Amino acid sequence: MERISSATLLPTETAFEGTIDDMSFQVSSLPWDTIRAPLVVPLLRLSVFLCLIMSLMLFVERVYMGIVISFVKLFGRKPEKRYKWEPMKDDIELGNSVYPMVLIQIPMYNEKEVYQLSIGAACGLSWPSDRIIIQVLDDSTDPIIKDLVEMECQRWASKGINIKYEIRDNRNGYKAGALKEGLKRSYVKQCDFVAIFDADFQPEPDFLWRTVPFLLHNPNIALVQARWKFVNANECFLTRMQEMSLDYHFTVEQEVGSSTYAFFGFNGTAGVWRIAALNEAGGWKDRTTVEDMDLAVRASLKGWKFLYLGDLKVKNELPSSLKAYRYQQHRWSCGPANLLRKMIMEIITNKKVSAWKKVHVIYSFFFVRKVVAHINTFVFYCLVLPATVLVPEVEVPKWGSVYIPSIITLLNAVGTPRSLHLLVYWILFENVMAMHRTKGTIIGLLEASRVNEWIVTEKLGDASKPKLAAKTPKKTRFWIGERVLMWELGVGAYLFICGIYDIFFGKNQYFIFLFLQAIAFCIVGFGFVGTHVSSF
């Protein structure tokens, strides 16, 4: 009998080991194969369908606004041509009584860096001194800052400026509560209009001369809104990205709403209200974190018209730290969604406005711009589209994955021509922030925790003090709780895995976008966006 060598057995052992590996792989993939066809594929197809519907809604909305704004620019439909406007003139017999009484409200909360700028700009407004009252509403909790603000008010009062320093013993209602409380003062009864400026806003001296005549000669106008001008747009990458997003809002959305006699939202500052319209609408309410939008909707439902002056710009500051920007975006996404939840039936049952205006407010202003835009941007481009790489049975048509997003992006970018070369970076950054906005939108719709969270946006005043800002030491210590954002890093890892899979096994060729988007999520996730100013 021949002796069987070990070499003879080797192939058999190798084949046996390979069989075991194959069996292990089949066993491990069995749960995925079990749920893939009956559950994952149908759900993903449904998700793609819903995302495509939302993309079409956004596409139609953007094209409509693009057509309207082109018509406005082409035919020069300036506010002076659509409404009566005459410059204010002196009257020898009536004297200064020919000028309406104007109240200037400046709400503040621990505004150490910018309080002098805002108070100084308000006191520098060109208007008859006996026909203007400046009201500083200070909710500061820091006694040192309160003393500084009060001394600044006293300094201007000594120069003959009619300025009032008002404080409360609580912060109920936050900004809305402060503005509401300020209007209760006895001296406000003599005022016809109220101009509101946040603590970092600096109006030009002729602001009232350019806005008040519209209100004076057109009794159906409740609000005149000015445009924002960002003095620190070039400070860092974060502020450049914000400028691109907000410029579209002011260049297109606000202009279209005003030009079509439809509805546009009050921006909470740099605007002048007719006090009678404000009171008729029910005054300030603090039921959401967007008290300005709440007031605008209620005034619109009363039949009042709003006017936007795109040529009138008021200087202000963009948040330059990622932490401050995230808090702001949470408020701006959560508040409108929650307001829609609270007011939708009130809007539908209203009998003072046309059906067209109701559709515009509910569908266009709230649903498409404040809900669909946030959810679709994150869910489609950061979750669903990458998932189709892992599930090749589900396909996304080119018009939905390439053509429509490209057109929407180009239409969004028209507001800031100087930053067109940053378009790719802007797309990636907006997709990252869309996750935060989506979370805020869902919280607002469900009225979950943090729905009424109000954190005042930090203002640094660096734009007006470049030399001081340059000397400010940067934070060198690395705090995980402050700078590492796990949600962003988690999505970044998911996109990176999908990109790797697409290279070796996929057929969609999405890997370039997936890798770039994954890098963007990781950059934000590790906090390498915006400025980091030392706290000591």
Instruction: Give the C-alpha separation, 196 to 203, whole Å.
Output: 10
Instruction: Give the C-alpha separation, 448 to 442, whole Å.
Output: 8
Q: Which residue has the tokens 């009042």?
A: 304
Q: Pairing relation of β-strands 271-274 and 193-196?
A: antiparallel
- 329: buried, middle or exposed (CB in 10 Å: 19+, 13-18, 0-12)? buried
Helix axes 291-301, 174-182, angle to 10 degrees: 60
CA neighbours closer than 13 Å in the CB half-sphere of residue 99? 20
Q: 139 catalytic, yes or no? A: yes
- Which tokens go with 289? 């974190």
Which candidate, 219, 182, 222, 224, places its Cα nearest to that of 203?
Answer: 224
Per-position DSSP letters for 491-508, written without gaps between them: HHHHHHHHHHHHHHT-SS
Q: 286 catalytic, yes or no? A: no
What is the b/e burial string over 129-154, where b = at least 16 CB atoms within 10 angstroms of the residue's CB? eebbbbbbbbbbeeeebbebbeebbe
Q: Which residue has the tokens 């002196």?
A: 90
Instruction: Report yes or no: 293 and 336 within 8 Å, Cβ to Cβ.
Output: yes
Which candidate, 85, 317, 319, 28, places its Cα nearest to that of 201?
Answer: 317
Candidate list 200, 292, 462, 502, residue with the active-site label: 292
- Which tokens go with 315? 């200087």
Q: Which residue has the tokens 């790489």?
A: 389
CA neighbours closer than 13 Å in the CB half-sphere of residue 56? 8
Q: Calculate the CA 153 to chain-centre distance.
A: 32
Beta strands in 181-304 (DSSP E): 193-196, 221-230, 271-274
Instruction: Report yes or no: 185 and 137 within 8 Å, Cβ to Cβ.
Output: no
Residue 146, CA distances (Å) to 24, 151, 390 in order: 70, 9, 58
Active-site residues, by number, are 139, 292
